[in-house]
Amino acid sequence: MNEPGARDRILAAAEELFADCGFDATPTSRIAERAGVPKGLVHYYFKRKPDLLTALVERLPEDRLDPAHVVVPGDVAASLHRLVDVLDRSLDSSAMLSHLLWREADTHPAVLDALRSRFGRLVEQIRAVVAAAQPRCAAADVDSAAHLLASAVSYRHSVARHAEDGQDTMHRELRFLADALAAGAGA
């Protein structure tokens, strides 16, 4: 089996240490020690310590998907449930990294920008799924539903993922959005 390269070991060490101790409290010497590399190699790959955060943002799982993989024509609720299931699997695979990045977004503009971009892509995906599942929905309703669901998914993965009833709450929220969209499309 191939052992991860030095750059990957540095990023893995940075992710763990930043999550445990925070970005500001983690010196690059500790990252190098944890990664099993000389400190100079950390600076070879990452000129500045904030470059490590930028690289970690890039390690988040791909967040684009083809709506055709989740859409059930005529059934917004089933389509949204399928979308959220795919998002859950993707976001759960990077729970520690996601938590770390949400925490560091307040003090690192590059991280905040990256998270905003990801949120915007999430909104676009939800819009595409709703529009494909129920084309008669008003654009304003689809836009509102997309922003609400993106906010709920983001909140759940940043904070509420520790709650026992997270899945039940999300299913109720999805049903509410689907019912509201169906009512608006029928009007």
In this predicted model, which residue has the larger pLDDT, 180 or 60? 180
What does the block give as tokens for 63?
Answer: 């967040």
Q: What is the pTM for the complete model shown?
A: 0.77
Residue showing tokens 């490590």: 52
pLDDT digits (tens, 9 = 90+) for 10-66: 999 998 898 888 888 999 999 999 999 999 999 999 999 989 988 887 777 666 788
Neighbours of 84 (CB within 10 A): 23
What amino acid is encoded at 181 in this protein?
L
The mean-pLDDT minimum among 29-38, 92-101, 119-128, 138-147 falls in 92-101
DSSP state of 38: -
3-state SS, one letter per residue, for 29-67: HHHHHHHCCCHHHHHHHCCCHHHHHHHHHHCCCCCCCCH
Q: Answer yes or no: is pLDDT of 166 > 70.
A: no
Cα-Cα-Cα-Cα dihedral sign, residues 38, 39, 40, 43: positive
Q: Answer yes or no: is pLDDT of 187 > 60.
A: no
Backbone angles phi, psi at 152, to 5 degrees: -65, -45
pLDDT of residue 111: 80
- The CATH class, in words, for 6-58 is mainly alpha
Instruction: Spell out the domain ranges in the chain.
Output: 6-58, 67-186
Between the CA atoms of 167, 173, 179 and 185, what dihedral angle is there, to the nearest 10 degrees? -120
In this predicted model, which residue has the larger pLDDT, 2 or 65? 65
